[in-house]
């Protein structure tokens, strides 16, 4: 097996500036709503590496080996069975990638009613991580602020040592 097949580490789409505090991994289809949300958040300026799950099967697989929060759009037209995009399922089916997920943020369209953002519920239950936030389509400026601040708090707490060390 070549190095690529066994899972060479992937580089981030946007590399954290300064000290790295954590990472996000996102998927976005051809409509690019989630990609626009992620771009507008400028996570890399806060010390957060940004990785993108590839859209096409021919693209090299993404292999992430640092703690990350997943940002995922919901698909499936209200059917829970298809709500998580195939590319995201494939990414999480790799035990190496799955080991580092720490939380999930989902997007969707509220027209889907009870199916709104259910990809977040499904991944949260399967991977046993918190469903941290949901937003509609490409999000609002309020969503951007909430997610940026939420991730900063989350990754800062995750890096604090347990106990006071005395």
Q: Could you list the residues that contact ligand FMN (CB under 6 A)?
A: 28-29, 31-35, 73-78, 83, 107-109, 112, 115-117, 137
CB of 97 to ligand FMN, least distance (A): 19
- Closest to ligand FMN by CB, 64 vs 138, is 138
Phi, psi of 61 (to 5 degrees): -65, 150
Phi, psi of 29 (to 5 degrees): -85, -170
- Closest to ligand FMN by CB, 21 vs 72, is 72
- Closest to ligand FMN by CB, 28 vs 97, is 28
CB of 66 to ligand FMN, least distance (A): 23
What is the Rg, in whole angstroms, of the alpha carbon atoms belonging to the chain? 16
- Closest to ligand FMN by CB, 7 vs 78, is 78
Strands (E), the chain: 22-26, 48-52, 68-73, 101-108, 131-136
Q: How many whole angstroms separate alpha carbon 162 and alpha carbon 138?
A: 36
CB of 1 to ligand FMN, least distance (A): 32
> Taking CB positions, which residue lies at the least distance from ligand FMN?
108
CB 69 within 8 A of CB 105: yes
């Amino acid at each position: 097996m070549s190095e690529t097949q066994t899972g060479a580490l992937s580089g981030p789409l946007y590399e954290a500036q300064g000290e790295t505090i954590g990472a996000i991994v996102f998927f976005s289809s051809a409509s690019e709503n989630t990609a626009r949300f992620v771009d507008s958040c400028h996570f890399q300026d806060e010390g957060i590496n940004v990785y993108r799950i590839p859209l096409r099967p021919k693209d090299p697989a993404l292999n992430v080996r640092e703690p990350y929060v997943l940002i995922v759009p919901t698909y499936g037209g209200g059917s829970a069975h298809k709500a998580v995009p195939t590319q995201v399922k494939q990414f999480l089916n790799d035990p190496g990638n799955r080991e580092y997920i720490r939380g999930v943020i989902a997007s969707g369209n509220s027209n889907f009613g009870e199916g709104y953002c259910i990809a977040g519920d499904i991944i949260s239950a399967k991977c046993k991580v918190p469903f941290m936030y949901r937003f509609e389509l490409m999000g609002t400026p309020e969503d951007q602020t909430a997610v940026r601040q939420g991730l900063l708090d989350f990754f800062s707490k995750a890096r604090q040592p347990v106990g006071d060390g005395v």
